[in-house]
């Protein structure tokens, strides 16, 4: 089996790595491992029967309908009904799954380009799978597609699952997000939204308008299967920044392809990333008595400036490995209410089972309305960001590379130079064949120089293993 669960489901190049055959086998494995049996709650399409069901939604990629059909066929071949939610943001699928107490799947590769696709699985109630649950799916899948005797065939005749649709899922999701404002309105706020030609192309503008915001322009909301995340959305907020300035808008919101993350833009066109958003929300929630445990959960990628700002605000920071699953696990284990990632993937655990870019944007506008302060002022006071440089080194094999002695020596040298005024992080990506190098330092020049030295050390370790792969261009500054 070539594909395995990463930090966010199974992901690969559609048609060659993530094939229809693989999707069908994964559907069968998911049906067996997750059961699809409702644990109570409202029915989600197909009437109020007691048959086992599993929900499926997707984003707007060209390969989405093919992979969804194959996955659904696999589920139905195991006697589990499939309810098609259509094109719906990942948090929308999770919300409907929570409402119906059903497991679900999302065919999406999030912020990746259109050629990639993935399948994320959610357990009953819309929660992320545990490691043990993922391993059980992989064990069943391995028996189906790996070497050795094949597993037993699926059910037959009248026991086959039925495929139905839920035409009202999108409306219910939109209403659920608007209800997070508890009756408050956004009247008077002017906003631009970039939907990344993805799953939020219809939902995000509708939600913002229903809450009272004036949506001046909707960018990248004409998906054609090929243009998802292409020079738009949270991975490239330049267009929404220009539009905000041109219209004199109060804010801009740039979502990604499956709308589980958002990057905001203030009225000057400056970006407000996930760290600043988390700092804003943490302080606001604590001030209103709604920040459980006076704690916020972040990953190791969060800027050192964020940690310093939280210390000054009297807010504890709990740090996890990269991946929203780890953030969710920490929130649920301790009963905390807020966490997220620098990428703009924020989780308001009292309101949702996963990150929701549109919900985050809505709550940000609500914060602006309640305080009467512009976003650039709020963001400037939230934290002072240390210059951060990211580099990706493309690799063939990742195991143990960051532990090579030459790499460890380079890391120690840089950390000694930075002292307590900077930070170094090397990690193997959970979704791509790359080693990520991150350096934070008091100046951009110091961070870039240190990152270059660490990239050279990783490259040397690769060459020592006989690899001729070269580092890719910088990922971000």
Comparing 83-97, 125-139, 350-364, 455-469, which segment has the lowest mean pLDDT? 455-469
Question: Reading across the β-sheet that carries 190-194, which strands appear in turn?
Answer: 214-219, 190-194, 251-255, 262-265, 271-272
State the pLDDT at residue 1. Answer: 54
Instruction: Please state, for a pLDDT cut of 70, what percent of the chain lies above it.
Output: 90
Average pLDDT, the chain: 90
pLDDT number for residue 48: 47
pLDDT at 41 over 60: no
Segment among 47-56, 164-173, 464-473 with least mean pLDDT: 464-473
When pLDDT is averaged across residues 236-252 and rounded to a whole number, the result is 98
Cβ neighbours, 10 Å, residue 314: 9
Nearest Cα neighbor of 442 from 421, 420, 467 is 421
Taking 80 as the threshold, does the pLDDT of residue 473 lie above it?
no
Considering only residues 428 and 350, tell me which one the structure prediction assigns the higher pLDDT.
Answer: 350
Average pLDDT (28-33) is 94
Q: Which CATH class is domain 10-167?
A: alpha beta
What radius of gyration, in Å, describes the C-alpha atoms of the chain? 22
Q: Is the pLDDT of residue 466 over 50?
A: yes
Give per-residue burial for 220-239: e unless 16+ CB within 10 Å, then b: bbebeeebbbbebbbbbbeb
Token code pair at residue 59: 């984003």
- 377 Cβ partners below 8 Å, 6+ apart? none
CATH of domain 173-382: 3.40.120.10
Cα separation, 201 vs 86, in Å, equals: 13
Mean pLDDT of 25-33: 95
Instruction: Please name the helix (run of DSSP H) or strand (run of DSSP E) that holds residue 393, with its range, or none.
Output: strand 388-394
- Contact assessment for residue 200 and residue 357, using Cβ atoms and an 8 Å cutoff: yes
pLDDT in tens, 3-23: 777 766 899 999 999 999 999
Domains 10-167 and 388-464 share a fold: no
Residue with tokens 């990211």: 390
Q: Is 110 a catalytic residue?
A: yes
> What DSSP line would sit under 268-324, residue for residue?
TS-EE-HHHHHHHHHHHHHHTT-SGGGEEEEETTS-HHHHHHHHHHT-EEEEE-SSH
* Lowest model confidence (mean pLDDT) among 142-156, 272-286, 456-470: 142-156
Tell me how far CA of residue 304 lies from CA of 103, 230, 442, in angstroms.
37, 30, 10
Query: What span, in angstroms and rounded, lies between the C-alpha atoms of 120 and 258?
Result: 11
Q: Is the confidence at residue 327, as pLDDT, over 50?
A: yes
Report the pLDDT value the prediction gives residue 4, as an integer from 0 to 100. 72
Proportion of the chain in helix, strand, coil states, percent, rounded to 5: 40, 20, 40
pLDDT at 279 over 90: yes
Point out which residues pair with 254 in neighbouring strands. 194, 263
Is 3.40.30.10 the CATH classification of the domain at 388-464? no
pLDDT band at 146 (very low <50, low <70, confident <90, very high): low
Contact 229, 198 (CB under 8 A): yes
Structural domain spans, the chain: 10-167, 173-382, 388-464
Residue bearing the bigger pLDDT, 329 or 474: 329
What mean pLDDT is predicted for residues 368-386? Answer: 96
Q: Which of 108, 110, 234, 302 is catalytic?
A: 110
What separation in angstroms does the CA of 105 have from each of 23, 132, 257, 324, 411? Answer: 11, 17, 16, 16, 40
């Amino acid at each position: 089996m070539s594909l395995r669960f990463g930090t966010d489901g199974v992901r690969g190049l559609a048609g060659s790595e993530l094939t229809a055959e693989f999707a069908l086998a994964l559907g069968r494995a998911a049906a067996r491992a997750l059961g699809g049996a409702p644990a109570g709650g409202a029915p989600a399409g197909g009437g109020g029967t007691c048959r086992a069901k599993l929900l499926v939604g997707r984003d707007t990629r060209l390969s989405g309908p093919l992979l969804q059909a194959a996955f659904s066929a696999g589920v139905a071949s195991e006697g589990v009904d499939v309810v098609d939610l259509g094109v719906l943001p990942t948090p929308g699928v999770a919300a409907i799954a929570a409402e119906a107490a059903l497991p679900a799947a999302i065919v999406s590769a999030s912020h990746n380009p259109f050629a990639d696709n993935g399948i994320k699985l959610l357990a009953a109630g819309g929660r992320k799978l545990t490691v043990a649950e993922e391993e059980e799916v992989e064990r069943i899948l391995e028996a189906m597609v790996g070497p050795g005797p094949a597993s037993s065939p699926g059910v037959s005749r009248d026991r086959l699952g039925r495929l139905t649709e839920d035409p009202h899922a999108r409306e219910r999701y939109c209403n659920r997000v608007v209800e997070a404002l508890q009756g408050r309105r956004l009247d008077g706020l002017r906003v631009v939204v970039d939907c990344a030609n993805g799953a939020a192309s219809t939902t995000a503008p509708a939600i913002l308008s229903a809450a009272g915001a004036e949506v001046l322009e909707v960018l990248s909301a004409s998906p054609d299967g090929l243009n998802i995340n292409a020079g738009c959305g949270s991975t490239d907020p330049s267009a929404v920044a220009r539009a905000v300035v041109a219209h004199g808008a109060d804010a801009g919101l740039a979502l990604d392809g499956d709308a589980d993350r958002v990057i905001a833009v203030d009225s000057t066109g400056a970006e407000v990333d996930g760290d600043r958003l988390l700092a804003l929300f943490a302080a606001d929630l604590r001030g209103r008595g709604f920040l459980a445990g006076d704690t916020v959960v972040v990953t190791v990628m969060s800027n050192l400036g964020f940690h310093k700002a939280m210390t000054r605000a009297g807010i504890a920071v709990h740090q996890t490995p990269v991946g929203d699953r780890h953030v969710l696990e920490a929130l649920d284990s301790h009963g905390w209410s807020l966490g997220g990632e620098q990428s703009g993937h924020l989780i308001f655990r009292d309101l949702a089972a996963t990150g929701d870019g549109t919900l985050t944007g809505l709550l940000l506008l609500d914060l602006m309305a309640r305080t009467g302060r512009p976003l650039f002022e709020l963001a400037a006071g939230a934290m002072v960001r240390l210059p951060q440089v990211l580099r990706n080194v493309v690799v063939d094999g990742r195991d143990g590379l960051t532990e090579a002695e030459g790499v460890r020596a380079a890391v120690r040298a840089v950390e000694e130079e930075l002292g307590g005024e900077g930070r170094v992080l090397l990690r193997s990506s959970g979704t791509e064949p790359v080693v990520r190098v991150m350096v934070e330092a008091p100046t951009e020049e110091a961070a870039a120089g240190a990152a270059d030295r660490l990239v050279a050390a990783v490259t040397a370790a690769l060459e020592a293993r006989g690899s001729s792969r070269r580092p890719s261009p910088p990922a971000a500054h």
